[in-house]
Amino acid sequence: MSSNTELLACIQESPQGVTLAELLTQLPNVARRTAQRQIAKFIDEGLVIAHGEGRARRYFGVDVPLKADIQTNNRDAFPSFIPVSADSQDILSYINLPLEARKPVGYQQDFLNSYQPNKTWYLSESLRRQLHKMGKTTDSQEPAGTYSRAILNRLLIDLSWASSHLEGNTYSRLDTRELIEHGKSAQGKAAIETQMILNHKFAIELLVENIDTAEFNHYTLMNIHSALSENLLPNPADEGRIRQHAVDIGKSVYRPLSVPAQIEDALKVVLNKANQIGDAFEQSFFMMVHLPYLQPFADINKRTSRLAANLPLFRANLCPLTFLDVPEQAYSRATLGVYEMARVELLRDLYVWAYERSTQEYLAIKQDLVEPDPLRLTWRDFIKQTIHLIVTSPEQDPYVVIQQVVKAKIPESEQIDLQALIIEELRRLHEGVLARYGLRPSEFSAWKAERQSNQG
């Protein structure tokens, strides 16, 4: 057996990997430089994978079947069409190893503690400039949330569908549109998939409609999670509260914190640091990194982080990050890099690519957007409260209620136009928009039945 064959055999027979020093001990007749040169050739040929630096660098064998799997298994491989940096390639080299070859690791508090808002940057200055240029929607200083409200109908469909798709939801984009716009569930789909889409819709509406007051605090985060997790968790008490038990991460050697008090303390630090970050994209990406890493909830952590990452973008009237066309395997590999290595480069590369995809969609429809009706914008809360009052008081004549509340609270010069607006809103009312007015389907059904009875 040649020295080259012996060298490769030693690497392949070491499932936990082997260092150069260990190889030279096993093969005393092989010179160090010869071994280094031959190992480099093995790496180029795809027969060996290296991880680590200096003396701690370990080499892992890749047999022919495994090599084929890595190249052809689209379910697990990071897509080649998404450009990644050399640092990201290093992360992929490690997380592509079999589970048994990766070192079990717990939550690294230093990863969070070392981040200093507005001093530490996950996104470089040039990257932030690039993202702001891509995501800019207006030259003027519009009120917070103006753009997200203008595109809300499209946003509800795209973000609900794409975020659910990353969780294995099989609803198509068209199915999602029918569900959100017309309340029609897709045939042949599990109830859990329908619930997931509707939960996204409600959570997005919650963020957009409360953008003036929403910030990264306990209240906002718990309510986003509660909206996303409604009717989806084994224990309903886990909706919108800190995780009370240990969790395992599928296909990962990462073990998050398990003590509720420690999780609560770490979450306070995450939110405190997030609120201090001045740049919208850095703030967005910080939440994409640290919420899933902490795993503060029993489940639905990544979904919560994807919506939370949009909060600063909504507030700054930037294009949203919808995750359209983001492959599930790319997202899962990128988060594994954070979980197991506390490294953000691969997730950063995916974030930039995903945001560019989102902006291409939304800037294309920008010119088709009509300017928000100033009257509707000024009195939006009043309109919602009036619609809620009408539907929850089915015994009263809607037109009488509208006249009374408008006359009591609206300046005379705007009363006629606002009455017309509310009547038009009432005519368009359907199950797909009830959450906007704080209404339940049962309340809407009772109101419709009362109206039909009166007309009959």
Check the annotation: does 333 bind a ligand.
Answer: no
Produce one character per residue of 89-126: b if its CB has 16 or more CB atoms within 10 Å, e if not.
Answer: ebbbebbbbeeebbeeeebeeebbeebebeeebbbeee
Angle between helices 380-391 and 441-455 (to 10 degrees): 70
Backbone angles phi, psi at 107, to 5 degrees: -65, 130
Rounded Cα–Cα distance for residues 308 and 302 (Å): 10
Check the annotation: does 305 bind a ligand.
Answer: yes
In the sheet that holds 48-51, the strands lie side by side as 18-19, 58-61, 48-51
Sign for the CA dihedral angle at 342, 348, 350, 351 comes to positive
Check the annotation: does 427 bind a ligand.
Answer: no
Check the annotation: does 302 bind a ligand.
Answer: yes
Check the annotation: does 304 bind a ligand.
Answer: yes
Q: Give the chain's largest Cα–Cα span.
A: 99
Return the number of other C-beta atoms located less than 10 Å from residue 238's C-beta: 20
Rounded Cα–Cα distance for residues 5 and 28 (Å): 15
The answer to whether 189 and 140 are in contact (CB under 8 A) is no
Q: In this structure, which amino acid lies at residue 416?
A: I
213's CB contacts (< 8 A; 6+ apart) are: none
Check the annotation: does 300 bind a ligand.
Answer: yes
Q: How far is CA 293 from CA 82, 219, 272, 279, 288, in A?
A: 23, 20, 16, 21, 9
How does strand 48-51 pair with strand 58-61? Answer: antiparallel
201's CB contacts (< 8 A; 6+ apart) are: 156, 160, 180, 432, 435
Binding residue ranges for ATP:
299-306
Binding residue ranges:
299-306
